[in-house]
């Protein structure tokens, strides 16, 4: 541990651990103030600088040296299919999203939010823990748009209730936007927008008015749309406009982040604009 002001001898501990995905800088600072972080056997203090070779403990958990290494960060879009879990391993041997992502020389992929096993569609992954925490925090008010197929009779009164807000077990919730987008018989498609991303929020909203969701697909996260050419189980890099918009939403400046944008052959595809009339998920 080095408390020098010379940035050549290391970076501030809260920045390094936030970038490694252990929480936001503010959360790391609270852990430091509570004496929960040790460096080389000593209780860390705010302002300490660390190197990748230092031994860092968060509680009883050892932080691997590779996660302390700085470098260019990446952020990618992944089209999650139904049946995959957003977890690193599964005791039952079910498929997990992390096995489908490109291999990294250092660092690890962090999921920006989650989708349950029965929900498909757009997910963002990054190696930048600070960016991930900022984009997931409820204060960011970032729109998540879903295509949802509902079973049952949907009346104007029900739609109005869902827009006005209903009480769920974890507080009041509502759709910021709700637009019908087709369907036949008792199965109707809608596009809905939420701002928080609470656990199973879209499904629970529809269930609260007595209706069942039988298909659910996320098609947009903030400025990033699900490309109709991006097949299920495939990923692509962000393009520059998407990256800059996400960084602006997170309050981070592009010139400070060093996020890596490059093209890799084989797995990823080039993004293209998707019009509101031709959004994925309703076919």
Instruction: Look at 203 and 22; give whichever has higher pLDDT.
Output: 203
258 to each of 31, 61, 161, 184, 253, how far by Cα in Å? 27, 28, 44, 48, 10
pLDDT, mean over the chain: 84
Quick one: pLDDT at residue 272?
33
For residue 15, the enclosing domain spans: 7-68
Percent of the chain predicted with pLDDT > 90: 54
Instruction: Look at 270 and 168; give whichever has higher pLDDT.
Output: 168
Quick one: pLDDT at residue 265?
35
Is position 90 annotated as part of the catalytic site? no
98 and 82 inside one domain: yes
Instruction: Look at 72 and 220; give whichever has higher pLDDT.
Output: 220
Mean pLDDT for the stretch of residues 122-145: 89
Q: Which of 90, 116, 170, 177 is catalytic?
A: 116
| Closest listed residue to residue 233, CA positions, set 99, 100, 89, 96 | 100
Determine, yes or no, domain membership for 1.
no
Query: Look-up: residue for tokens 């929020």?
Result: 201
**pLDDT tens per residue, range 175-189:** 999 999 887 778 999
Determine, yes or no, domain membership for 17.
yes
Work out the pLDDT band at 3, boundaries 50, 70, 90.
very low
Determine, yes or no, domain membership for 188.
yes
217 and 148 inside one domain: yes
Which one of 186, 201, 221 terminates a domain? 221
Mean pLDDT for the stretch of residues 107-114: 88
Determine, yes or no, domain membership for 283.
no
- Strands 110-112, 171-173: parallel, antiparallel or unpaired by DSSP? unpaired
Q: Which of 14-18, 223-227, 231-235 has the lowest mean pLDDT?
A: 14-18
d(CA 4, CA 263): 39
Return the CATH number at 43. 3.10.290.10
Instruction: Look at 207 and 22; give whichever has higher pLDDT.
Output: 207
238 and 274 inside one domain: yes
Determine, yes or no, domain membership for 58.
yes
Work out the pLDDT band at 137, boundaries 50, 70, 90.
confident
**pLDDT tens per residue, range 197-229:** 788 999 999 999 999 999 999 999 999 999 889
pLDDT at 271 over 50: no
152 and 210 inside one domain: yes
Quick one: pLDDT at residue 185?
75
d(CA 193, CA 22): 29
151 and 213 inside one domain: yes
Determine, yes or no, domain membership for 2.
no
Quick one: pLDDT at residue 134?
86
- Strands 235-237, 259-260: parallel, antiparallel or unpaired by DSSP? unpaired
256 to each of 28, 241, 245, how far by Cα in Å? 20, 16, 14
Return the CATH number at 182. 3.30.2350.10
Task: Label residues 112-144 b or e (16+ Cβ within 10 Å = b).
Answer: bbbbeeebbbbbbbbbbbbbbbbbbeeebebeb
Quick one: pLDDT at residue 148?
97
110 and 148 inside one domain: no
| Closest listed residue to residue 202, CA positions, set 220, 216, 186 | 216
d(CA 116, CA 213): 13
Number of domains in the chain: 3
Determine, yes or no, domain membership for 237.
yes
* The model's pTM: 0.74
53 burial class (0-12, 13-18, 19+ CB within 10 angstroms)? exposed
- Name the phi and psi angles at 152, rounded to 5: 130, 175
């Amino acid at each position: 541990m080095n408390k020098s002001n010379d940035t050549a001898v290391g970076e501030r501990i809260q920045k390094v651990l936030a970038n490694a995905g252990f929480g936001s800088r503010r959360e790391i600072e609270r852990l430091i103030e509570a004496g929960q972080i040790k460096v080389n056997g000593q209780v860390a203090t705010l302002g300490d600088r660390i190197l990748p070779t230092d031994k860092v403990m968060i509680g009883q958990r050892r932080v691997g040296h590779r996660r302390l290494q700085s470098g260019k960060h990446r952020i990618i879009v992944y089209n999650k299919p139904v049946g995959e879990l957003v977890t690193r391993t599964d005791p039952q041997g079910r498929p997990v999203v992390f096995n489908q992502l490109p291999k990294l020389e250092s660092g690890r992929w962090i999921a920006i939010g989650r989708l349950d096993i029965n929900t498909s569609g757009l997910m963002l992954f990054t190696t930048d823990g600070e960016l991930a925490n900022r984009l997931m925090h409820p204060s960011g008010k970032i729109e998540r748009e879903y295509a949802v197929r509902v079973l049952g009779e949907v009346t104007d009164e029900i739609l109005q209730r869902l827009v006005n807000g209903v009480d769920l077990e974890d507080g009041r919730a509502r759709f910021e936007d709700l637009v019908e987008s087709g369907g036949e018989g008792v199965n109707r498609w809608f596009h809905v927008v939420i701002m928080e991303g609470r656990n199973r929020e879209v499904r629970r909203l529809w269930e609260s008015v007595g209706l069942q969701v039988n298909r659910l697909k996320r098609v947009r996260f903030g400025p990033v749309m699900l490309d109709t050419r991006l097949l299920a189980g495939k990923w692509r890099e962000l393009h520059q406009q998407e990256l800059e918009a996400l960084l602006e939403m997170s309050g981070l400046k592009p010139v400070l982040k060093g996020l890596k944008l490059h093209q890799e052959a084989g797995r990823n595809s080039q993004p293209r604009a998707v019009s509101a009339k031709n959004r994925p998920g309703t076919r």
